[in-house]
Chains A and B, each alone.
Chain A
Amino acid sequence: MRLSRFRWAAVMALPLGLMACAAGADEGGAKSASSEAAKTKAAKAKPAKVAFPSTYKAYPAQETVIIPVTIFDGAGGRIDNGWVHMADGKIKEVGGPTSMPPDVGNTINGAGKYVTPGIIDIHSHLGDYPSPSVAAHSDGNEATSPTTPEVWAEHSVWPQDPGFSRALANGGITSLQILPGSANLMGGRAVTLKNVYARTVQGMKFPGAPYGFKMACGENPKRVYGRKGRMPSTRMGNLAVNRQTWIKAQDYRKKRNSGKSFKRDLGMETLAGVLDGDILVHNHCYRADEMAQVMGMADEFGYKVSAFHHAVESYKIGDLLKAHGACSAMWADWWGFKMEAYDAIPENAAMVQNSGACTIIHSDDKNQIQRLNQEAAKALADGRRMGLEISDATAIQWITLNPAKAMGIDKMTGSLKAGKMADVVLWNGNPLSVYSRPDKVWIDGALMFDAADPKRRPVSDFELGQPGEGDVK
């Protein structure tokens, strides 16, 4: 049920222009002509059971009110002297100074503190490139073929990665997307997790989150496979391999939708899922010209890029990104580590925001995931210094609601709207200041981190019995 709901949401999100462009292509034509019929058929032809379903269960939540507190609601709003009421694991209500919350047993004084939604990192390799980063743990890139749509990142995630605890305690991260690496043009399925330790990956999977699909353009695929003497060894090779693969996926999807028996293919299943709009494309891409090529390819085959990741040159094409409806997930200021990162500038995110395109700050890093709030603050400051007017609350949206949207979980989390999951961070000061840290973090209303309580600090199996176990980190 949840999957089909998301599929529809994704189809609705397709801009009209894209639908029109896609009409010329085989699949796109069928889709726009009678998409409803095709959808119904597609649903019937799919395997009945969802593989590896989430077994995540929210931990017990205590009804809680935080008052008085400064609130960034994640959707660009700010309330001074406000309050937050959480009950039954959900956001019950958020109010300002002229209203009063109900009297509940657990009332937290938030004077001088700030509340935000749980921070969301759309680009992480926790679990698939975990700590310690030894060869035995290097599970992020199936770099044996330039297209591996058949692999799923969740099958590489080690749920004992100590990095999850740092992301929680220092970064207030409550949800995160784990992607395959960028060696391959088509790297495989990404998985969205709740940042709650579990014995199994299934126990961490965000219930109802759509799958992501990792793609990569530019230097990495052509370097990795060019060195092996195989295609692609050039950027034109990158596009050719991608397009050939999409043509195969269109064929597969047509067979699948025909109602006749067909041979199941794991990779094609994922690609057809993208064409259905069920699986959201996350495309690692640095250069502006290459992002434009990818958007052209997406138009050709009738899918949409949910977010370009890294996107260091998005500032050059904010207008094009806005027209496609693609988000840019960016670092605040990484640059210069390779040719395609040479034109990165620290005003990138602010300039994308200023173009009216969707703006996200991501980490792709086990350290910076611990301070995405600070990365957003730096990107905000750089934008203001060039004269752009962007609010503090908007910068918080870059690390909450906007990534939630691009990951397809914004109906459930990402802002402090009543009815959403009570994924909440209480900060000991303004989260856009270097001097602030998470004080408490709730996930689905359950208190999962408390700076004042050493027992509310998760310690992974790996760290148990080791020097520094349970220390502040």
Chain B
Amino acid sequence: MRKLIFSAAVAIAFATPAAAETVAITGGKVVIGDGSDPIDGGTVVIRNGNVVAAGASVKVPAGARTVDANGKWVTPGIFAGFSRVGLVEVGAVSSTNDSSARGSKFSAGLDIAPSIDPFRSSVAVNRAAGVTRAVVAPSSSGEIFAGQGAIADLGADNNPVTKARAFQFVEFGATGARRSGGSRSANHLQFRAYLREAADHAAGRAAFDDELMRKEDAKALQPVLSGATRLLVHVEGANDILRLIELKRSYPKIKMVLVGASEGWRVASDIRKAGLPVIASALNDLPEDFDRLSATQSNIGRMKDAGVNVAIGMINDRDAHQLRYTVQYAGNLVSLNRVPRATGLTWNEAFAAITSKPAEIMGMGARLGSLKPGRAGDVVIWDGDPLELSSAPTRVFIDGVEQSLDNRQARLRERYRNPVEGDLPKAYDR
């Protein structure tokens, strides 16, 4: 009982962010996250919220708090390449689900940032599983454009947004066709028409047609046109990818990123030639629809072998609650290397695909996603190989601040450790 009360007090203490301190994590197996080999017995130093050094012969600065990581793994936090984290408490309870806005008059103009709630249970649960940053995207509802997504951290503080309006999200393929009236032709024309409107609006031309589009939506597409923000395009089928690559030729400045891309392996050289990075679903291997007839778990490995810049993301796959699957997915891609005819990733590649790669693809590689000097102090200490099913974080730092690993699920577990009531009902047991 005493122990439980103590742990609850600790949880409350952690709920207010501690000041960033100088921390040296010593003796662990250090993974930089850039695809290089793990370093045994390495040291990671965090100061003022940032990584200042990580490697084999790093000195512990005077006055640093030392954390012993002997026998443990020390890695950058997991960067969820695509998610809806912080937008949803209970999926089927619409008042707690801000991932899409079916009743809104707006589309591209929607900004996800105010919907990201750092106190959603899913933030704490996934933080305890080592996820420290995430691409957070709106879901589309009535239009092909879903709105402006953000990069967020999963820290227990009041400021979840790392970068607001970091990208625009748009649907192509089967969903895009449905959103634009029923065909891919309509999808392409709608895309072109909206971007023309946005350009007209920017130029102050009288031709602006607000029957087609609202000003707020048009304005939000201007930084997409200029390349100031990225355009994340959800597309799965090989033909849809090829047609998108053709479409992009009309918009040389747009910085496009493919999301999903289950059939990407069939057109991997085209994707590479077009210079399009991909945030791909890792384990899609079923013909869930006719866009994904040739889906295979070897997709990411084959695209990577063809020279495509690829990261792992979870699109429409428990992307609000289960970002903790990210490490399992990466581990599965490693397992493919032992399956005849399959193509996976090496361990180092797989870990990069859930840390530095998504950060780089989102244009944040200089600030996030690895333990190179200057990156945010998002560091996780694991009790074993982070991709292995038996492993879990023992400590998590975000922006250099050590985080509570407590959450609702842990509290329920402790309450029901012995399910039978004692001297008082369970409601008194906390």
Contacts and interface: CB of A to CB of B under 8 A. Distances in A.
A, B in one complex = yes
A150 B28 CA distance: 61
B298 to A, nearest CB: 6
B342 to A, nearest CB: 4
Contact of B413 (A219, A319, A347, A384): A347
Contact of B91 (A133, A336, A345): A336
A133 B419 contact: no
A438 to B, nearest CB: 9
Nearest to A314: B419
B285 to A, nearest CB: 4
B285 A377 contact: no
Given A381-B390, A471-B296, A342 B90 contact: yes
Interface string B335-364: 110111110000000000000000000000
* Interface SS majority for chain B: loop
Given A336-B121, A347-B413, A472-B296, A131 B287 contact: yes
B91 A337 contact: yes
A338 B88 CA distance: 11
B176 interface: no
Interface hub of B90, B287, B392 (most chain A Cβ within 10 A): B287
A429 B88 CA distance: 38
A59 interface: no
A462 B287 contact: yes
B321 interface: yes
Contacts of A344: 409
A451 interface: yes
Contacts of A106: none
Interface stretch (A16-24, A25-33, A162-170): A162-170
B416 A316 contact: yes
Contacts of A374: 328, 332, 389
Interface string A365-401: 0110011001001101100111000000000000000
Interface in B59-108: 88-93
A473 B419 contact: no
B419 A315 contact: yes
Contacts of A366: 286
B211 interface: no
Contacts of B427: none
B417 interface: yes
A435 B338 contact: yes
A317 interface: yes
B157 interface: no
B133 to A, nearest CB: 20
Count chain B CB atoms within 10 A of each CB in A333, A342, A468 and give the residue with the most.
A468
Interface residues of B, number: 55
B293 A468 contact: yes
B266 interface: yes
Contacts of A462: 287
A44 to B, nearest CB: 45
A250 to B, nearest CB: 33
Contacts of A296: none
B338 A386 contact: no
A340 B324 CA distance: 21
A371 B332 contact: yes
Contacts of B334: 434-435
Contacts of A351: 413, 416-417, 419
A436 B391 CA distance: 16
Contacts of A62: none
Interface string A447-471: 0000110100000001100111001
B6 interface: no
A435 B392 contact: no
B283 A432 contact: no
B389 A132 contact: no
B388 A434 contact: yes
B180 interface: no
B127 to A, nearest CB: 14
A294 to B, nearest CB: 17
B296 A473 contact: yes
A145 interface: no
B322 A333 contact: yes
Contacts of B410: 345
A131 B390 contact: no
A321 B77 CA distance: 39
Interface string B407-430: 001101100110110000000000
A437 interface: yes
A138 interface: no
A451 B339 contact: yes
B328 A434 contact: yes
A452 B339 CA distance: 8
B288 A433 contact: no
A114 to B, nearest CB: 13
A54 interface: no
A318 interface: yes
A141 to B, nearest CB: 16
Contacts of A133: 288-289
Contacts of A378: 328, 389
A468 B294 contact: yes
Contacts of B295: 468, 473
Nearest to B426: A316
A318 B413 CA distance: 13
B52 interface: no
Contact of B416 (A315, A367, A468): A315
B290 A434 contact: no
A134 interface: yes
Given A335-B321, A339-B93, 15 more contacts: A132-B290, A133-B288, A162-B287, A315-B413, A316-B419, A336-B89, A336-B90, A345-B413, A370-B283, A437-B335, A454-B341, A468-B266, A472-B296, A472-B341, A473-B297
18 contacts: A132-B288, A132-B289, A170-B285, A170-B297, A319-B420, A337-B321, A342-B90, A343-B412, A351-B416, A366-B286, A370-B285, A433-B388, A433-B389, A434-B335, A434-B389, A437-B339, A454-B341, A471-B341
